[in-house]
């Protein structure tokens, strides 16, 4: 993602390319910009206010460090996320960083569990793809419109969105059933009868 892909005014991110680190036509490994996997992957994703603020902070920090104008790859420049040494960041490297965070957190949990003679609650293996699953599931749990969710995820069809990402657990089923109770409470509101008198319906 480059800064030209971020629309701070309309609060959207444009997705129309991907950065990969693979062998080129000369069998040399380098960063390349390619088209997304499918046509449906080309899309605009709306930004929540929290993400918008995080991106504004990121841009401010990069501007202060003189890193806004950075690498140029196949005509794309000004990448939003870089490594600590200023080099480009690819998905594989990001997964390694996440795995390191999980490992260090679990190591502390295990050490604390040994001291307190308790069972540690360890974090599972986490990757960028798992974070994508989680984000989609959370949006679905909050009642996001299914077609909107499909567009945000860039899926070819709605069935894929529902089958692969829209996980249902016991808590979610309980929450959905509780909505029925909420509807029943609403039905007890006061209404007018034919004579203009007020009465409650059960």
91-116 and 128-141 are packed helices; what angle lies between their axes, rounded to 10 degrees?
80
- The three-class DSSP label of residue 167 is coil
Give DSSP secondary structure letters for 18-73.
EEEEEE-TTS-EEEEEE--SSGGG-EEEEPPHHHHHHHHHHHHHHHHTT-SS--EE
Contact residues for 11 (Cβ-Cβ < 8 A; gap 6+): 46, 47, 52
Q: Is 82 helix (H, G, I), strand (E, B) or coil?
A: strand
> What radius of gyration, in Å, describes the C-alpha atoms of the chain?
24
The string of pLDDT tens digits covering residues 125-160 is 999 999 988 888 888 888 888 899 999 999 888 887
Dump pLDDT digits (tens) for 56-111: 999 999 999 999 999 999 999 999 999 989 999 988 899 999 999 999 999 999 99
| Domains of the chain and CATH, by start | 1-87 (1.10.443.10)
The pLDDT tens digits of the residues spanning 167-189 come to 666 776 777 778 777 766 655 55
Please check whether residue 34 is in contact with residue 18, taking contact to mean a CB–CB distance below 8 angstroms.
Answer: yes
pLDDT tens digits along 1-10 = 999 999 999 9
Of 171, 166, 164, which Cα lies nearest the Cα of 143? 166
């Amino acid at each position: 993602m480059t800064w030209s892909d971020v629309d701070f005014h309309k609060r959207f991110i444009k997705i129309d390319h991907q950065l990969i680190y693979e062998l080129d036509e000369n069998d040399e490994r380098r960063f390349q910009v390619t088209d997304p996997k499918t046509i449906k992957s080309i899309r605009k994703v709306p930004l929540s206010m929290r993400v918008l603020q995080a991106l504004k902070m990121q841009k401010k920090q990069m501007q202060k460090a003189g890193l806004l104008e950075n690498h140029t790859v196949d005509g794309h420049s000004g990448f939003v996320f870089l490594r600590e040494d200023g080099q480009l960041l690819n998905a594989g490297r990001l997964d390694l960083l996440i795995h390191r965070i999980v490992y260090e957190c679990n190591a502390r949990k295990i050490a604390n569990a040994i001291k307190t003679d308790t069972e540690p609650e360890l974090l599972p293996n986490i990757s960028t793809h798992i974070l994508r699953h989680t984000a989609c599931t959370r949006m679905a749990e909050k009642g996001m419109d299914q077609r909107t969710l499909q567009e945000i995820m860039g899926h070819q069809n709605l069935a894929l969105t529902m089958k692969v990402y829209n996980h249902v657990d016991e808590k979610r089923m309980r929450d959905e059933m509780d909505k029925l109770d909420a509807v029943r409470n609403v039905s007890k509101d006061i209404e007018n009868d034919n004579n203009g008198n007020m009465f409650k319906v059960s």
